[in-house]
Amino acid sequence: MEFTFHAVGVVRSPYKEKFGIPRQPALAPAARLSIELTPPYNHPDSVRGLEAFSHIWVSFVFHETADRGWQPLVRPPRLGGNAKVGVFASRATHRPNPIGLSLVRLDEVDTRHGVVLRISGADLLDGTPVLDIKPYIPFVESRPEAVGGFVDGPPPLLTVVWREAARQQLAEDPRLPADFAELVEQVLAQDPRPAYQDDPARIYGVLLYHCNVRFSVVENTATVLEILSAAQN
């Protein structure tokens, strides 16, 4: 059976590339994103009543990797990149239908110009096409007794420290949002490095907003080395 779906909106996100995006929503609550609904779905009637919900389910297309196909077995980062589980036992992005599902906080429904949903803590790339939005219903969907398989509990976190020069660069960039430092800390604490990589000499870069945040990792500590704004890249 084949179906054709149309995107109902597009994500605007500080995450400009896949590297560094937390592996699930809620892990970096300082990430502020929005979903802009596109015509003909961007009429205020389409979201009437939604503002009364604190969280929404967002289904979307993994558009950046949609053409890469899928395998029945995948290696979840959570298992260190060596053990395999079935694709349907994982939240891997490479799936038979490249559809993602994220539960995110809904901060505001803005209907001043079309419809913009302001959300936080999402694990979504800038430009992600949104297929659907549904309210989260806590009494049905919150299951504290549920068993979490190989992802039972949050991942271990890195400690994040700043070089003085990087802190200085933060202070000097008026375009950065007030909670940018918090976002950097939450993103790096997740340890964005690929499984297996443990090279203390290596310098990594995560793109957030218009900045390239350069960092290194030694044992359990990530150090923010410098913040290059787009003009300098």
CA atoms within 13 A on the CB side of 168: 5
Q: Are 106 and 120 in contact (CB under 8 A)?
A: no
CA atoms within 13 A on the CB side of 207: 11
Q: How many CB atoms lie within 10 A of CB 186?
A: 19
For residue 98, say if its preceding peptide bond is cis, omega within 30 degrees of 0. Answer: no
Q: How far apart are CA 223 and CA 176, in angstroms?
A: 20
Q: Is 80 left (phi over 0), alpha (psi -120 to 50) or beta?
A: left
Which lies closer to ligand SAH via its Cβ, residue 78 or residue 212? 78
Which lies closer to ligand SAH via its Cβ, residue 128 or residue 169? 128
77 binds ligand SAH (CB under 6 A): no
Q: Which residues from 83-122 bind ligand SAH, rule CB under 6 A?
A: 91, 93, 100-102
Q: Are 56 and 87 in contact (CB under 8 A)?
A: no
Mark the segment that binds ligand SAH (CB under 6 A) among 124-132, 145-153, 161-169, 175-183. Answer: 124-132
* Least gap, CB of 100 to ligand SAH (angstroms): 4
Picking from 33, 41, 40, the residue whose alpha carbon sits closest to that of residue 13 is 33
Beta bridge pairs of residue 56: 104, 135
* Least gap, CB of 180 to ligand SAH (angstroms): 20
Among 65, 75, 94, 114, binds ligand SAH (CB under 6 A): 65
Among 10, 78, 121, 123, binds ligand SAH (CB under 6 A): 123
Mark the segment that binds ligand SAH (CB under 6 A) among 18-26, 32-40, 41-49, 210-218. Answer: 18-26
18 binds ligand SAH (CB under 6 A): yes
Give the interface size with ligand SAH as a residue count (CB under 6 A): 18
Catalog residues that contact ligand SAH under the rule CB under 6 A.
18, 21, 23-25, 62-65, 91, 93, 100-102, 123-125, 128
